[in-house]
Structure 1
Amino acid sequence: MKLLKFVLAALATLGFTSATAQTMEPVPDRAAGDGEGPYETLIISGATMIEGSGAPPMGPVDIVVEGNRIAAIHGGGAPADVRARADRIVDASGMTVMPGFVDTHGHNGDPSKAAQPSYGYKLWLAHGVTSVRGVSFYFGPGQPDLTDTQRSRNNTIAAPRLFPYAVFGDKWGRDYPATPAAAREWVRWAKAQGFWGIKFFNNLSPEMLAATLDEAEKQGLGTVAHLAQPGVQRVNAAKAVELGMDGITHFYGHFESLLDDNALPTYPKGYNYYDEQSRFGWVARLADQVVEPGSEEWDAYIDHLVESGVTLSPTFNIYSASRDVMAAKNRDWHARYTLPSLMDFYAPSATNHGSYYKDWSTEDEVAWRKFYRYWFDLTKEFHRRGGRVTAGSDPGYIYQTWGFAYIGELEMLREAGLQPLEVIRAATVAGAEEIYQARGETPPMGTIQVGKLADLVIVPGNPLDNLKLLYGTGHTKLNYETGEIEQVGGVRWTIKDGIVYDAPALLESVAAMVEAQRAN
């Protein structure tokens, strides 16, 4: 119980609730209508291919899948004998095929918001997300991170490929590690259990963090940090990467590494970290305390990040409501696809994490818009100099619903200055490489290549021209020939492990969950 109390207290200081007091519903076995295949031979025919590495679109192509692997790619079309033996041919004429998307920042574990995990899993799949790194999927011991991972690997549930990380010190049901030796023991335990990496919330001393990161590297576990304000005076982003942190998520730690006049941030009178209105209202004003973008100190910090080999997963979308909260709570998808319990959680609250709009003002939104300009500039310049940027959505908070939030992140990477092909690379091979890097392995997915896993997303139209085509609700467009307003786009098929998922059908099953909850 000492561990559980410590973890719950630590997460509470960061604003996270735990699912340990309530039980998540078990994920049902994959139903007959949830995906078809894998097939002995499947052909995706006639699509334009964006293969993920940054190469330009090419097509039409026929992609031949045997079982769960890409067996051949034929420009112009597969030979007649290959087509003749196909068990299924997906006609993707006029569509774009890309590698399945990788979400590097997933959660799925709060029964007060969405008690059935398949709600999030199906929304991810419906938006082309075939791999998710959970940081963590569930907080607290006894949660199904590992069983969900195995069931997804076996394709007995309708879910993306899952890569579970554990929050440092969580899960094992023993006292929280208090010494470097105990920290190393916890890391070895996490590895033996089957976790792929460690999420840090910046509650360790530099000495403890150094020992933990050293052991994680020895064990081949990935590491990523949310460098929260309570610990950033000891470990900011500059210090974390010096100690060997693999990845930095969100914005935390960057601005504290770039302070202009002071060694520590200057907090306003009456500031209280536990009051999220205070916490998030103030953090945008941190932009007023840092050196100017393009200055010598700014450039030196970006060079430091690039040279360290760290990966940035900014999760721009999760704080985007701070720029315009009224727009965020009225997104197109909420009425049909966001659970009433989620909308209740998102509403202004004194207790729910991220529900901090209790007195949100024009001045707060203007401050956040300036903050984003600095954050965008840092990310773009890091990327331009060779740093790896990945796409993570952190769904389930602040009006950001699974799947839709991920496409919102792609749009915001574009807003930050990445070109469309660079956005797709961030969403595919870059995320795959981040997940597999600690193991020293070439990822088996992330690009469309012979021998790679058959993880693919197929969408009508060309998302390089308009990323909005990827939203499950589609894109509103005038048909100039008929004069009618139409909804176009939306992922048509998501293929994971050679299994073909009908994306609109997945969305319909989610809509049914929403209606069922609304009726109760």
Structure 2
Amino acid sequence: MIWLFTLSYCTLSSTNRMLKKILLAVICLTATIQLSAQIQPAPDRGEGDGPYDKLILRGVVLIDGTGAPPTGPVDIVIEKNIITRIQNVGYPGLPINESRRPHADEKTKVLDLEGHYLLPGFIDMHAHIGGTGQGTPAEYVYKLWMAHGVTTVRDPSAGNGLDWVLGQKNRSAKNQITAPRILAYTAFGQGSESPITTADQAKAWVNQNKAKGADGIKFFGAKPEVMEAAISENKRIGLRSAMHHQQLDVARWNVLNSARAGLTSMEHWYGLPEALFQDRTIQDFRLDYNYQNEQHRFAEAGKLWKQAAPPYSEHWNNVMNELLELDFTLDPTFNIYEANRDLMRARTAEWHEVYTLPSLWRFYAPSRQSHGSYWFDWTTEEELQWKENYRLWMTFVNEYKNRGGRVTTGSDSGFIYQLYGFAYIREMELLREAGFHPLEVIRSATMYGAEALGLEKTLGTVEVGKLADMVIVEENPLQNLKVLYGTGAIRIDENNKPIRVGGVKYTIKDGIVYDAKQLLADVKKMVEEAKEKENTSLKQPGLDW
């Protein structure tokens, strides 16, 4: 992710000063070198059963993703990779009416899932496939996602290079690898031979990006005329877009500027408080602030929402209403900043020991260089500031949803102690904390994600005619979202002993049924082998145990 920050500088305005020309050339070269470093692609698929000529899922409780309440028992018929029938077969507490069940002949595959809950496949709107810095092979990342029901991902920035991501996308679409569906959103300027400094250059790059097969663009910032040209041209040619409004450019181009130009979604929250300023135009930076010092960057970001207009004030309402009118999507990624408000919680999550690769653990460690590793002087005061930051941020996001706005679910995993798959479920819990009903959480993770990607005709809900992407779990996720974690939720059995329940049982992608727990077992084995090879174990920063 370091290269993402570096690459964004390739869009800086040109100058006649020789020093800046040299700097731009070095930065663009650095971006090219970083892009050439790619993680190991996924091997040929060895998991999953199907697709079947006819598959019947018997007796499930259906949560269809539209916001409708659960209903069941129902039988669902899948032919190849298409849902062809959804049949109510009875009433809770009564024997199933066998006469109402879809017929199964000797060639039909039947799964008896009475009492299980079935949901649409989850969509991760902010899903970096990983990088050499994290040392995460694609198989590791994909299996963690799939084990948690994630069947579609948007890779924002195509950090392993567009050609690499498109290759994985095509193999996933053909089910040649065990992986979610992949959408490639190229970082603006990626692959450009020279800095993009004019509107014409921006438009030309946008059209070249589409010609290469990209699904969209992720922006970070540039001078306004470049941003206006690039975003509006991208919209004109039918692609979608996302943006992390980085602090280096947000003073002159915030979320409202982007939305008016045609941006379709914003990542995180940068640029939104700036649009809500009413007694200032620039963030109240500490006077020794240095953007390259991530302790400064993230600590000061934790003060931003308090500098914005207060909730429900006139300006706050005006900004929200304009974004709603523009059909703008918020992808908050609450989870990725959670360590800022509770570092110990994120750092000591129970799954790290078993499922976090040692290379990824080293990447997380406090460092002045690795992105998102700014824990070298993180204090109680920073955590308190961030707790208030979350309160104000969540208030905006929840009210945006209440007024009909689209809020999606994205994780940004692989940074700041957030592990692929597990972090996605945590994002769902944080949407619940923000005020979402559990059904609204599921809708954000499914239908709204599909709408934001332009895939609502084929994905996002469990309906006849749509693709068979599904999540099946033995417990009710509406009562406890924790049952979706790979480690499950804690219960007490009849002998007063703690046990674990839940964890996704099956993930169905494109009609192929994957054993989610086996996918997790595969990841566990990868981690064990890596630890053995390196003769290492996970240790907390600064401790020998």
* TM-score by shorter chain over 0.5: yes
Offset, 1:10: 5.7
Q: Distance in 2 between matches of 1:442 and 1:387?
A: 16
Q: Distance in 2 between matches of 1:72 and 1:384?
A: 32
Q: Distance in 2 between matches of 1:457 and 1:140?
A: 30
Match of 2:61 in 1: 48
Contact preservation (8 Å) 2:49, 2:514: yes
Match of 1:153 in 2: 173
- In structure 2, the CA distance between the partners of 1:163 and 1:319, relative to structure 1 (3 Å rule), is same
Contact preservation (8 Å) 1:19, 1:140: no
Alignment of 1:422-501 (within 5 A): 422-436=440-454, 442-479=456-493, 481-501=494-514
Aligned positions, number: 506
Q: Distance in 2 between matches of 1:23 and 1:215?
A: 30
Q: Say which of 223, 233, 240 aligns to 1:205.
A: 223
Contact preservation (8 Å) 2:8, 2:220: no
Match of 2:198 in 1: 179
Q: Which amino acid aligns with 1:36?
A: D
Match of 1:282 in 2: 300
- In structure 2, the CA distance between the partners of 1:113 and 1:466, relative to structure 1 (3 Å rule), is same
Aligned sequence identity (%): 45
Q: Which amino acid aligns with 1:185?
A: A
Q: Say which of 412, 431, 456 aligns to 2:430.
A: 412
Q: Distance in 2 between matches of 1:165 and 1:292?
A: 34
Contact preservation (8 Å) 1:19, 1:109: no
Offset, 1:239: 1.6
Q: Distance in 1 between matches of 2:127 and 2:5?
A: 24
Contact preservation (8 Å) 2:231, 2:258: no
Match of 2:105 in 1: 84
* Deviation per residue, 1:53-89 (Å, 9 max, x gap): 0111000111110000001111117756622345321
Alignment of 1:362-381 (within 5 A): 362-381=380-399
Q: Which amino acid aligns with 2:501?
A: V
Offset, 1:9: 5.2
Q: Distance in 2 between matches of 1:164 and 1:328?
A: 28
- The SS at the match of 1:231 is coil
- The SS at the match of 1:319 is helix
Q: Distance in 1 between matches of 2:412 and 2:101?
A: 45
Q: Distance in 2 between matches of 1:456 and 1:341?
A: 32
- The SS at the match of 2:381 is helix
* 1:135 lines up with 2:135 in the alignment: no
Match of 2:138 in 1: 117
Q: Say which of 149, 165, 168 aligns to 2:185.
A: 165
- Per mean C-alpha deviation after superposition, the further-off stretch among 341-350 and 174-183 is 174-183
Q: Which amino acid aligns with 1:182?
A: Q
* Deviation per residue, 1:211-239 (Å, 9 max, x gap): 11221112110011100100001101122
Offset, 1:260: 3.7
Match of 1:508 in 2: 521
- In structure 2, the CA distance between the partners of 1:54 and 1:4, relative to structure 1 (3 Å rule), is closer
- In structure 2, the CA distance between the partners of 1:387 and 1:8, relative to structure 1 (3 Å rule), is closer
Contact preservation (8 Å) 2:75, 2:101: no
CA RMSD of aligned residues (A): 2.1
Q: Distance in 1 between matches of 2:271 and 2:326?
A: 15
Contact preservation (8 Å) 1:69, 1:453: yes
- In structure 2, the CA distance between the partners of 1:227 and 1:139, relative to structure 1 (3 Å rule), is farther
Offset, 1:328: 0.6
Match of 1:190 in 2: 209
* 1:95 lines up with 2:111 in the alignment: no
Q: Which amino acid aligns with 1:339?
A: L
| TM-score (normalised: structure 1) | 0.93
Q: Distance in 1 between matches of 2:505 and 2:161?
A: 36
Offset, 1:243: 1.6
Q: Distance in 1 between matches of 2:164 and 2:35?
A: 11
Match of 1:251 in 2: 269
Q: Distance in 2 between matches of 1:166 and 1:352?
A: 22
Offset, 1:19: 4.5
Q: Distance in 2 between matches of 1:442 and 1:449?
A: 11
- In structure 2, the CA distance between the partners of 1:467 and 1:396, relative to structure 1 (3 Å rule), is same
Q: Which amino acid aligns with 2:128?
A: H
Match of 1:237 in 2: 255
* 1:269 lines up with 2:283 in the alignment: no
Match of 2:164 in 1: 144
Offset, 1:442: 4.1
Offset, 1:459: 0.6
Q: Distance in 2 between matches of 1:138 and 1:7?
A: 10
Q: Distance in 2 between matches of 1:324 and 1:81?
A: 50
Q: Distance in 1 between matches of 2:69 and 2:79?
A: 25
Match of 1:26 in 2: 41
- Per mean C-alpha deviation after superposition, the further-off stretch among 84-93 and 54-63 is 84-93
Structure 1: unaligned runs, 5 residues or longer: none
Q: Say which of 100, 104, 107 aligns to 2:125.
A: 104
- The SS at the match of 1:84 is coil
Match of 1:400 in 2: 418
Offset, 1:443: 3.0
- Per mean C-alpha deviation after superposition, the further-off stretch among 75-84 and 174-183 is 75-84
Q: Distance in 2 between matches of 1:178 and 1:333?
A: 45
Match of 2:542 in 1: none
Offset, 1:177: 2.7
Q: Which amino acid aligns with 1:444?
A: T
* Deviation per residue, 1:170-194 (Å, 9 max, x gap): 0x35223332122111111111111
Offset, 1:140: 4.4
Match of 1:218 in 2: 236
* 1:7 lines up with 2:7 in the alignment: yes
- Per mean C-alpha deviation after superposition, the further-off stretch among 445-454 and 206-215 is 206-215
Structure 2: unaligned runs, 5 residues or longer: 12-26, 90-95, 534-545
Q: Distance in 1 between matches of 2:482 and 2:468?
A: 24
- In structure 2, the CA distance between the partners of 1:23 and 1:197, relative to structure 1 (3 Å rule), is closer
Offset, 1:276: 0.3
Contact preservation (8 Å) 2:506, 2:515: yes
Q: Distance in 1 between matches of 2:520 and 2:495?
A: 28
Match of 2:316 in 1: 298
* 1:385 lines up with 2:403 in the alignment: yes
Contact preservation (8 Å) 1:305, 1:382: no
Q: Which amino acid aligns with 2:139?
A: S
Q: Distance in 1 between matches of 2:102 and 2:258?
A: 56
Q: Distance in 1 between matches of 2:383 and 2:139?
A: 34
* 1:519 lines up with 2:540 in the alignment: no
